[in-house]
C-alpha cells in the first residue's frame, strides 16, 4: 500500500516553551513531528535542560536544542543564527511561553506592581514580536507563527490578573504581526486553550475547581486534551490554513461562546 505524504513533510519548525512532558508545547510538538515536521527546541535555563533534552532526544539524537531566555535579545539572535546554520530555512514557529510573578496571580489585579506588569508583558507578549522578527528572514517561502493564549485575555477570570492583560497584548500582537508579515506569506495566529493541567497551572489556587467548572458549563461538557491542541497546531502549521492569519482559534470545549 502506498501511503500519502505526511501533511508537514519537508517542513521545519522551532518550538519555544517545553518544560516537561505535560507542557502544551510538547503536545503540539508531538503532533507536528508525527505529521512529518523536523523540529528544533529551546529551553529556558539550566534547570530545565536535562528534562527537555530527554524529551527531545526521542525525536533522534540530531534534534537541535538551544538555550533561550526570551527576555534576552542576544539569546534570540543566537537561536535564529543557529537555526540558519542547522536548518537553513524555517516554516513553523511555536511560541508557548508565559510568566508572571506568582504573587501577581493571587489577590487583586489593582495591586499589580510595575515590575510584575513589566515582566509579564516582556516574557508573555513582547517575546512573540522578537521571535517573529528573528524568524521572518529564515522564512523565504512563507511560514506559520503560532502563539498560545487564554480567554482571560478577553474576559475577567479571577486571579488571572496581569496575565490576562499580557494575553490581550499577545492577541493584539498576533494581529499586527499578521498584517506586517502577510506580504511575505507568513501567517500569525493564536490558539486559545481551555485550562490544562501543566507545570504553569500547578499551584494555582482553585485550578481543580476550574477544570470541574468547564466540565459542567462548556457545551462539550468536558475538558480538552493535549491531542486536541496538537491537532489545532497541526492545522495552523500546515497548508490547510494558508488563508487564515491574525486569528484566535478557541480550543476550549466551546466555553467561549457562553453568556451564562
Ligand atoms: O497562562 C496561564 C498560566 C501562565 C502562568 C503560570 C504561572 C504559575 C507559576 C504564568 N506565570 C506563572 N507564574 C508562576 O509563578 N494559564 C492559562 C493557566 C492559568 O493560570 C491561571 C489561571 C489559568 C487557567 C491563574 C489564575 C487563574 C486561572
DSSP assignment string, 125-166: IIHHHHHHHHHGGG-TT-EEEEEEE-GGGTS--TTTHHHHHH
Which residue of 20, 95, 105 sits with most ligand 1 atoms within 8 Å of its CB, as the best mutation to test the pocket? 105
Question: Cell match 507536528: residue?
Answer: 32
pLDDT at position 48, please?
95
Write the CB contacts of 26 (distance below 8 Å, at least 6 apart in sequence).
18, 20, 55, 226
pLDDT at position 161, please?
98
Question: Cell match 539569546: residue?
Answer: 75
pLDDT at position 61, please?
86
Tell me, in angstroms, the distance from the centre of ligand 1 to residue 44's CA: 17
Residue whose CA lies nearest to ligand 1 atom number 6: 200
Does residue 166 line the site of ligand 1, with CB under 6 A? Answer: no
Does residue 150 line the site of ligand 1, with CB under 6 A? Answer: yes
Contact 167, 193 (CB under 8 A): no
DSSP string, the chain: -PPPPPTTTT-EEEEE---STT-HHHHHHHHHHHTT-EEEEEESSHHHHHHHHHHHGGG-TT--EEE--TT-HHHHHHHHHHHHHHTSS--EEEE------GGGGSS-GGG--HHHHHHHHIIIIIHHHHHHHHHGGG-TT-EEEEEEE-GGGTS--TTTHHHHHHHHHHHHHHHHHHHHHGGGTEEEEEEEEPP--STTTTT-TTHHHHHHHHHHHSTTSS---HHHHHHHHHHHHSGGGTT--S-EEEESTTGGG---
Tell me, in angstroms, the distance from the centre of ligand 1 to residue 74's CA: 27
pLDDT at position 32, please?
98
pLDDT at position 47, please?
94
- The strand pairing partners of 93, in sequence order, are 14, 145
Which residue of 201, 203, 218, 256 sits with most ligand 1 atoms within 8 Å of its CB, as the best mutation to test the pocket? 201
Please state, in angstroms and as integers, the Cα–Cα distance from residue 97 to each residue in 70, 228, 242, following that order. Answer: 9, 19, 24
12-257 — its CATH code?
3.40.50.720
Question: Cell match 489593582: residue?
Answer: 110
The model scores a pTM over 0.95 = yes
Tell me, in angstroms, the distance from the centre of ligand 1 to residue 204's CA: 7
The residue from 43, 66, 151, 160 that is catalytic is 160
The residue from 43, 66, 150, 151 that is catalytic is 150
Note if 160 is an active site residue: yes
Distance CA 174, CA 50 (A): 32
Tell me, in angstroms, the distance from the centre of ligand 1 to residue 30's CA: 23
pLDDT at position 4, please?
86
How is the chain split into domains, by residue range?
Answer: 12-257
Note if 66 is an active site residue: no
Question: Which pLDDT tens digits describe the chain residue by residue (260 residues)?
Answer: 777 889 999 999 999 999 999 999 999 999 999 999 999 999 999 999 999 999 999 998 899 999 999 999 999 999 999 999 999 999 999 999 999 999 999 999 999 999 999 999 999 999 999 999 999 999 999 999 999 999 999 999 999 999 999 999 999 999 999 999 999 999 999 999 999 999 888 888 889 999 999 999 999 999 999 999 999 999 999 999 999 999 999 999 999 999 99
pLDDT at position 143, please?
98
For the CA of 152, the nearest atom of ligand 1: 17
Amino acid at each position: 500500500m502506498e501511503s500519502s505524504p505526511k501533511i508537514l513533510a519537508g517542513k521545519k519548525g522551532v518550538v519555544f516553551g517545553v518544560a516537561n512532558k505535560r507542557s502544551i508545547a510538547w503536545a503540539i510538538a508531538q503532533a507536528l513531528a508525527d505529521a512529518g515536521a523536523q523540529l528544533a527546541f529551546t529551553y529556558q535555563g539550566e534547570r530545565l535542560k536535562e528534562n527537555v533534552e530527554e524529551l527531545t532526544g526521542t525525536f533522534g539524537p540530531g534534534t537541535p536544542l538551544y538555550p533561550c531566555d526570551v527576555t534576552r535579545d542576544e539569546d534570540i539572535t543566537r537561536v535564529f543564527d543557529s537555526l540558519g546554520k542547522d536548518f537553513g530555512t524555517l516554516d513553523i514557529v511555536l511560541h508557548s511561553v508565559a510568566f508572571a510573578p506568582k504573587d501577581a496571580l493571587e489577590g487583586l489585579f489593582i495591586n499589580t506592581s510595575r515590575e510584575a506588569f513589566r515582566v509579564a508583558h516582556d516574557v508573555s507578549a513582547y517575546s512573540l514580536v522578537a521571535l517573529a522578527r528573528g524568524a521572518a528572514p529564515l522564512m523565504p517561502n512563507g511560514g506559520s507563527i503560532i502563539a498560545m493564549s487564554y480567554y482571560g485575555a478577553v474576559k475577567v477570570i479571577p486571579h488571572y490578573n496581569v496575565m490576562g492583560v499580557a494575553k490581550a497584548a499577545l492577541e493584539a500582537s498576533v494581529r499586527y504581526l499578521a498584517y506586517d508579515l502577510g506580504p511575505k506569506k507568513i501567517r500569525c495566529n493564536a490558539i486559545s486553550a481551555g485550562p490544562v493541567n501543566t507545570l504553569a497551572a500547578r499551584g494555582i489556587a482553585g485550578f481543580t475547581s476550574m477544570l470541574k467548572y468547564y466540565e459542567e458549563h462548556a457545551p462539550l461538557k468536558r475538558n480538552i486534551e493535549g491531542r486536541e491542541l496538537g491537532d489545532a497546531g497541526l492545522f495552523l502549521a500546515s497548508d490547510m490554513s494558508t488563508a487564515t492569519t491574525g486569528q484566535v482559534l478557541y480550543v476550549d470545549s466551546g466555553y467561549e461562546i457562553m453568556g451564562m
